[in-house]
Structure 1
């Protein structure tokens, strides 16, 4: 073996340190999300995806480089969540394909692996945008290719890392939304951290030199300053925990909930069908440790049992599986014909594995899947790409999901249902009301931490003094008349009296307008609304 070649154990150690560094910087990556909504979880999604890969990697001195890369890619695939996680999992798939059958990883192998990772990452996105993590991946691979034949593996990683830092710095010049907010791309920073971690594992001194030469600290500090220092450190994120809020959220997810602790440390015991949702929620709050999972329900009773109809029998021709957060929304989807509801949504994007398990639980020959969140669509499509019995209707919001489900006919064919369900999506206008989690400026709208904000079909359109003001003003902006159907889904944080008063005011302002009020119970978003 040549000195410059990496063994399987060395490759695993490099990516293990990359994961550690990504976890340490998770909150910073999260903070750099441009939109000030409480789903800035790029760092969390990338970290959980890479964690799944690392946990599957064979340990010890025996495995080959190809075996380590394969298991890393397999674990990342099943653990992928969110758009950034799916792209990262495809990065590792390409990396693994290049090392298939390799006992060790040479510099030439590594260069090819980075290039195939680039191709696979771009292939994961239907319409790739430059100025994102894809650009950072591409520039790292291109820089490595430029020194092919003249470098060892450490130098390849060093070159790729340096190029990724420069690419990250330039992302605001490629995406206007980043330039307006004054930040670099969050997913791009995640890629930089991963490549830096691999270099640090092989040559700590050279990593520090490359980091200083690229000015990485300055790049990150400048972005954080543009956000007013809105990114919390891991310690800060866990220093103001609300026991009551954690208890309420866990009670919505499962049964037999016990929550004890203080504002710094919380211990949770909860019975639930899918432990992944609870773990994801914990990671969103801070550092998770001492996780213990036991199968206490061999009957595999569905999370929504007791308030919905029975799941379809195994072998049913077609069923629908949807993603939703909040007991009210879960009940709504089950009562409207879903075979299963996966707990998830904002801040809790389900993984590929969780989606596969939900589909399996529904037990039909064909499954129509409703992601109901723009950051879950890509994950669902990755599942469907590997299973021809799964069909994704790309619903980007809960209101779109409800409309699609109402168009579903269990006696029609899959093709007929897909056409009908996708056909109603353009007819739905979606409004989302939440509170800003950071200072920023998006599409010319200046936002301060704590402002109530309204999103109209994913576009941030206004800020307001209250959630109800934001709801009324955004509905007025969207436009309703006597022929419109307005549905308001009240979240867990919204006041019932204020919600009813807003609905009555809307009815009074537009005689003949149909206003339906439903309790969604969704966290983070005070109101969801649809106009049809």
Structure 2
């Protein structure tokens, strides 16, 4: 096989995300109020001794990594309480889960830590967290971390010497705050941004007064608590629900662990409302009545009158910052937005040199399509989050982002979450392979496991259809051998009042293409016709493993080559695939195949079709080492 090389980044590296288990939340009790002190801050909080080292004079890159590891634990434990008070802009109850998964996934997918090059290590860690960001508050938290990481890198030498003193930490928080505010198209007071600004301002004032690192970080945390307690006075939705902003509370959790990292002490204050104990990630919420206060303590968790959901029990989108200005507009915006779109975009080198201008224009145009717009990142790599009214508008968001760069990791989810009534229409697909299944689920499909040699039976199909919880189900078999069993399953579920339409997609490539045009809001028959058209318009190539050893290459239903391994037949498959008029290629690699093969296929296809968008999915079915679909 002629070697084909390519050094372009795989634009869709899908990994299965671990789902943490549900955790209980200790009952919350009310304590007395906090009196204000000079500069509007509460009295110095008594500190709870911990097992952590004593106060540090400087925060190094290694310290920053330790802080993020602790933030992950804190957010995991606080997630149920944060989810329970998620009411703005959409009461879907998954802010805590999204913030936890942002940090957790970022840490798990980051490059290995290199103590000899902490510059690259902390930068890579921050970038991984940004690319793992979920939901509005997750994106903003990731932007805050990325902004702070840039300042940490500036203050640290390659061997982790140096680091940040009190003034350096103040600069880091200021950079992080500026990055977060710039990422949001229409910043809103009473959200995570308010706490970020208060923390940055307090850090600057403490540093200007000559405060050491421990003094700066304590004042930062104290100010963040006060700002959090005031969020109900800034957002009517929070005041009505008697809760604080969930995203802002998540940031307070992160800052609490920054105090622990820098001082070796776990902060407590008189008059705090704790969920759980300080040792297990309890969340402090001071009562700080201010001008215009309702006089009632804002609550989190069980006292908020909402059952908390554990991490991984997402009820929809993240609740955080919105782009509305009046109570009436908030109500109409909440009812208008039904879908969350999150994606990553990579700018070309030329555009990256003027990224600020490009991204500013992108934010403005996205704000015309929806609300809760966040575009966060740096250089070439950016993460986009927006709430939109319907599936066609979600498609316009993706198309708009494709005009400025390469798009990857697109996720469209309903904002209705668990609060929605029984679904009317569901999409069910048959597939296997961890990576491919994750892609299909992310796109909104339910998945029944099936593959050559282990195809789903009629009973399994019936169970999968009924498990969708919908009255109408559209099914994509992606396998010619599964069409007839599916038709029989349709007859059986009809006896239980469920309408099932079998779309005769006979390849997995056709399934992937069809899922991309799935519109959950469309009429079932109309959706089925659209899926049929998309699946039928795909040019398919495949390398299939033979039971007795060896592989066979096919294009459509035609065999084009046989050989001992993928290298023997893949060039013939690619050469036979038509690329004229093709705009998008999807390459699915089998679970055990070297990712370098995907890069080689991508390079080969781009050489044949200039401007072709290529998406590579790792972790496909073992029976097919390589699947290629052209649209």
Instruction: Give the TM-score normalised by the residue count of structure 2.
Output: 0.41
Higher relative contact order (CA 8 A, sep 6+): 2
Instruction: Give the TM-score normalised by the residue count of structure 1.
Output: 0.48
